[in-house]
Amino acid sequence: MTTTPEPEPDEDAGYASHLDEHGNLKIIERHMIVPPELAGLRLDHFVKTQIVRLSRTKIQGIIETQLTRDDGFKPKASTSVAAGEHYVIRRPAPPEPPCPRTFTVVHEDARMRIIDKPAGLPVHASAKFYFNTLTRVLSERYPAEPELQICHRLDRETSGVLVLARDKEAAAFLKDAIGRKDRTTKQYLAVVHDQPPWDTEAVLDTPLRLATEADDTRLPHVRMLPDPRGLEAITRVIVEQRAGTYALVRCTLVTGRQHQIRAHLAAAGFPIVGDKLYTHGDDAFIEYCDEGMTPELAAMFVIPRHALHAARITLPHPEGGTVTGAAPLPADLAQLLI
């Protein structure tokens, strides 16, 4: 169970996104084509290479009830697969956690869009989200634009600006520009605990690396750790507003490491409000993943999502010059500063 920010009453929250216009369950399809190097495997072993999280028993049940070859042939788990064969898993869509499925366009032209993604809306599909994703919402909102592509990503809980390309050439150009920090400037707003002593712009430059099983953490391969031996990570940060026990800081990325802003602010002693991973320790994060948002965790986290917002992006335009997209601080974060 996972709790997401409650949508406004007039928003599409996706409660019925798994149903068709007649109220019947939609069908989710997963397509798998056998590469030459996997030819000769038993079908159940091949499927395991494609969906590694499933047990063999679960896979055999899927083969029996949900899987066919694209020509309609119904294989057995022991069937040997051949290179180029196309298998399809079809399953009824389950209900998904509700989340906002609306967004605002802050810049639009013939080659690209910049949107303001709401907190709680995942960018891509996962184990829990398929129809309640930005990818799916874009296909519904712009059905005549098959080449529309998302050029980078934001965490589900992070709100703010996200760049979309409207054709393949623009996608290649924009993805390259975003990947090169000397060409693109990203600024985030974060509400942090306590009052940072920065009266002018500060530079957080602690190197970061991904935790491993050898570290003192229950979350290897999830949490980023400060480490002098880690990768270079630089964030410029300045305080924009102070309010009681919270402060609003503007962060400009110089590098773009995983969880960089969240890890840097936590390492500096001013963690982001609502950040389940970096503010309250491994146990709280694991409890949230296992139990959902209990009343005790809700009181601890203060707000249902981490208080991080992608406020501004400036990058080259595919046809020359630069373009800037900006998104205002959302109401749930602004409320913390009253």
For the annotated catalytic residues, the residue numbers are 155
DSSP state string for 106-139: EEE-SSEEEEEEPTT--SS--SS-SSSSHHHHHH
| Closest to 332 in 3D by CA, of 297, 299, 305 | 305
| Closest to 7 in 3D by CA, of 330, 337, 334 | 330
DSSP state string for 209-250: EE--TTSS-S-TTTSEEE-TTSB---EEEEEEEEETTEEEEE
Extended beta strands in the chain, E state: 27-33, 67-69, 86-92, 104-108, 112-117, 149-150, 159-165, 185-193, 202-204, 208-210, 224-226, 235-243, 246-253, 308-316, 322-326
Tell me the pairing of strands 308-316 and 159-165: parallel
Neighbours of 50 (CB within 10 A): 16
